[in-house]
């Protein structure tokens, strides 16, 4: 019976077609033998000549049989006079009454278009919902229920977010032993919201919660609620919580909550918007939780700023857990998790790799380990070496090498001077982050080279002096071109953009201008419907705007003069570093230190490459705030935060 119900639309169409064909051929032929058609005049001549023996008349059709057994037919408008004449000629005449189709056949024929439309509509719904069983159940929740097939991931498989695990562990303990909390009169949070940048492990934490808790687990995405039919989203929310109440205690996980939880009143259609109706129903269901209920709602989003305030208040999402980017210890723990089951060489130091991957989230580190494994397999290794991880870091930060890109000697020299300028300024200014690597090998989409710095410790605050030093390092490449080439190129476009942005932030956001004082100038307008800041509102006068431009100009000009003086005083060193960079294409931080100290680098091997040596910690105590400085264009970098 279920099989027939699943294909109801197809069966209806098939039945209608069969009935129509039966009705079309319902009247069988009275004579299965073939008849020859004659004109009326020839038919009369045959009758008058006595050749016709028998005639059968059916409405306007006249069928005749000759004395020699032949059959022929003709058509007449009025068969009455013809029949009288044939009788007079001695021909046997027989009238056949017309046969009528059954009443049900006529009704089916008249209803054929309507039934065809109904069948086509059911067939469309069948395909849209992925199966005939969902034709009338599209308002049902699409949440996946995990009982005995819960994810095998546990908190042991999640690293780099210990605080978030502790917060969730409390929820898991409540589900395991609610009486322990009830004795003390404690109420567990009804909703837990996981916040954080993409790739930090929010969904992984939810999967680990399902693996830890021995309770049913419902999983659904925010976009699964909203459908093309009005009211379906709200119906699915009701159905989800109805199923959850039957299975309590349980966990309901909603991924990408911002798809359905955006602030109300911002979209088209006002209160009648389908997404807002879905959100309203979710608010009602969450607020309707009983004090003794065993339903825990966990949601994840990377855009908490656009969520509706009613969704975030206590009583709905009581607990907000921030899953932020891991520090170097967290990165080391994540690397240990992802390197399990992989063969590593003895020279591999995960702690050093963790220090060199500042800003990487869990997804980036998983990709890093996988890239290292792919590189090792490409090189025919039996285990992952430190050089594989080093190359994988460069691939993730700046993209894969593009040695096939042909660059003429002149442009290659300009790129080398550009990157040497960045590196020397970073080395000559006290307090700058140490230089880890300089490269003039094209990488990624547009980067023609880059300079990589690694900080010595984790940093959360940036002083005015450090921001000035960063601007100086950014301008080092362009000033090196000015001094050595007597001209500038477009290669510094990204450097100038970032330097200008830093100067504007210092003046308008960080209050680091002596002339304008400790003030925040400008206000961002939040367009919730678009989900991002698209307008900077000027809440200051034209006079202040002119002063902002002047202060930015003063900062940039001061840094430019300082850099030009430093490079002019160390011009011979700039030429020396550039020559070695042109020969080797890549200079490590230790090699740069050797050149600055007045030493020479060992000659290259016969194949033009240098022998790789195991990486050491050196000055790279931590790698928070890694900043690749592209010699080409288009190597994006996260904005520095104060």
- List the catalytic residues: 419
Residue among 88, 111, 105, 91 nearest 26 (CA): 105
Alpha helices for 358-436 (secondary structure H): 362-378, 386-398, 409-428
Largest CA distance in the chain: 138
CB 130 within 8 A of CB 136: no
**Following CA atoms 496, 640, 433, 559 in sequence, which dihedral angle do they give, to the nearest 10 degrees?**
40
> Which of helix, strand or coil describes residue 36?
strand
> Which of helix, strand or coil describes residue 435?
strand
What are the distances in angstroms from CA 86 to CA 54, 60, 305? Answer: 9, 15, 99
Residue among 67, 55, 63, 56 nearest 37 (CA): 63
C-alpha span between 376 and 382 (Å, rounded): 8
Tokens of 558: 């001061």
> Which residue do the tokens 């956001």 mark?
509
CB 275 within 8 A of CB 325: no
Give residue 443's Cα distance to chain centre: 25
Beta bridge partners of 252: 218, 297
What are the distances in angstroms from CA 567 to CA 12, 278, 421, 483, 574? Answer: 85, 62, 7, 8, 7
C-alpha span between 189 and 495 (Å, rounded): 47
CB 522 within 8 A of CB 540: yes
Tokens of 261: 């939880």
Beta strands (DSSP E) in 417-570 are 435-439, 450-453, 523-527, 532-537
C-alpha span between 43 and 89 (Å, rounded): 13
CB 555 within 8 A of CB 289: no
Residues comprising the chain, all counted: 642
Any idea what DSSP says for residue 609? -
Tokens of 201: 């492990």
CB 586 within 8 A of CB 451: no
Tokens of 345: 């060489």
C-alpha span between 279 and 626 (Å, rounded): 41
Beta bridge partners of 320: 193
> Which of helix, strand or coil describes residue 535?
strand
Residue among 366, 355, 307, 301 nearest 332 (CA): 355
Cβ atoms within 10 A of the Cβ of 558, count? 13
C-alpha span between 20 and 90 (Å, rounded): 42
Residue among 306, 307, 286 nearest 295 (CA): 286
C-alpha span between 420 and 104 (Å, rounded): 93
């Amino acid at each position: 019976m279920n099989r027939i119900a699943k294909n109801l639309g197809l069966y209806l169409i098939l039945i209608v077609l069969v009935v129509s064909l039966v009705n079309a051929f319902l009247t069988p032929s009275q004579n299965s033998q073939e008849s020859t058609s004659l004109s009326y005049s020839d038919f009369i001549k045959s009758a008058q000549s006595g050749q016709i023996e028998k005639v059968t008349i059916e409405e306007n059709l006249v069928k005749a049989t000759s004395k020699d057994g032949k059959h022929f037919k003709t058509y007449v408008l009025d068969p009455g006079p013809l029949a009288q004449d044939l009788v007079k000629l001695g021909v046997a005449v027989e009238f056949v009454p017309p046969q009528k189709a059954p009443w049900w056949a006529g009704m089916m024929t008249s209803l054929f278009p309507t039934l065809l439309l109904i069948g086509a509509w059911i067939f469309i719904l069948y395909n849209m919902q992925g199966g005939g069983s969902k034709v009338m159940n599209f308002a049902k929740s699409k949440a996946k229920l995990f009982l005995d097939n819960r994810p095998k991931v546990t908190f042991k498989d999640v690293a780099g977010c210990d605080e978030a695990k502790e917060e969730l562990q409390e929820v898991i303990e409540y589900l395991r032993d609610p009486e322990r909390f009830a004795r003390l009169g404690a109420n567990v949070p009804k909703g837990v919201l996981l916040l954080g940048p993409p790739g930090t492990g929010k969904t992984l934490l939810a999967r680990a919660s399902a693996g830890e808790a021995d309770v049913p687990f419902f999983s659904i995405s925010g976009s699964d609620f909203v459908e093309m039919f009005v009211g379906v989203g709200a119906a699915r929310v009701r159905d989800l919580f109805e199923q959850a109440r039957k299975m309590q205690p349980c966990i309901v996980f909603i991924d990408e909550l911002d798809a359905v939880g955006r602030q109300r009143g911002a979209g088209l259609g006002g209160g009648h918007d389908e997404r807002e109706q879905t959100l309203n129903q979710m608010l009602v269901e969450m607020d309707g939780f009983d004090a003794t209920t065993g339903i825990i709602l966990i949601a994840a989003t990377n855009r908490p700023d656009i969520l509706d305030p009613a969704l975030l208040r206590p009583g709905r999402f009581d607990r907000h857990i921030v899953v932020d980017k891991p520090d170097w210890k967290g990165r080391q723990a994540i690397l240990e998790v992802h390197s399990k089951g992989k063969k590593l060489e003895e020279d591999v130091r995960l702690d050093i790799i963790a220090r060199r991957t500042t800003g990487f989230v869990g997804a980036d580190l998983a990709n890093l380990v996988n890239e290292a494994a792919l590189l090792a397999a490409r090189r025919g290794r039996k285990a992952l070496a430190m050089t594989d991880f080093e190359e994988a870091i460069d691939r993730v930060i700046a993209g894969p090498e593009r040695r096939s890109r042909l660059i003429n000697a002149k442009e290659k020299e300009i790129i080398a001077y550009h990157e040497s300028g960045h590196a020397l300024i970073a080395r000559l200014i006290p307090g700058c982050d140490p230089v880890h690597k300089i490269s003039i090998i094209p990488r990624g989409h547009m980067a023609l080279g880059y300079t990589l710095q690694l900080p010595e410790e984790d940093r959360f605050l940036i002083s005015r002096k450090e921001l000035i030093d960063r601007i100086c390092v950014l301008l080092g490449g362009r000033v090196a071109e000015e001094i050595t080439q007597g001209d500038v190129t477009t290669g510094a476009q990204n450097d100038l953009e970032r330097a200008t942005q830093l100067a504007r932030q210092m003046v308008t956001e960080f209050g680091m201008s002596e002339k304008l004082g400790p003030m925040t100038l400008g206000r961002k307008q939040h367009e919730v419907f678009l989900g991002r800041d698209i307008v900077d509102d000027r809440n200051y006068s034209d006079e202040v705007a002119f002063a902002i431009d002047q202060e930015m100009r003063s900062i940039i000009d001061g840094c430019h003069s300082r850099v030009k003086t430093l490079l002019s005083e160390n011009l011979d060193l700039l030429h020396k570093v550039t020559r070695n960079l042109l020969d080797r294409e890549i200079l490590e931080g230790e090699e740069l230190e050797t050149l600055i100290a007045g030493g020479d680098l060992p000659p290259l091997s016969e194949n033009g490459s240098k022998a790789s040596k195991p990486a050491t910690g050196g000055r790279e105590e931590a790698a928070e705030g890694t900043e690749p400085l592209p010699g080409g264009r288009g190597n994006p970098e996260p904005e520095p935060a104060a």
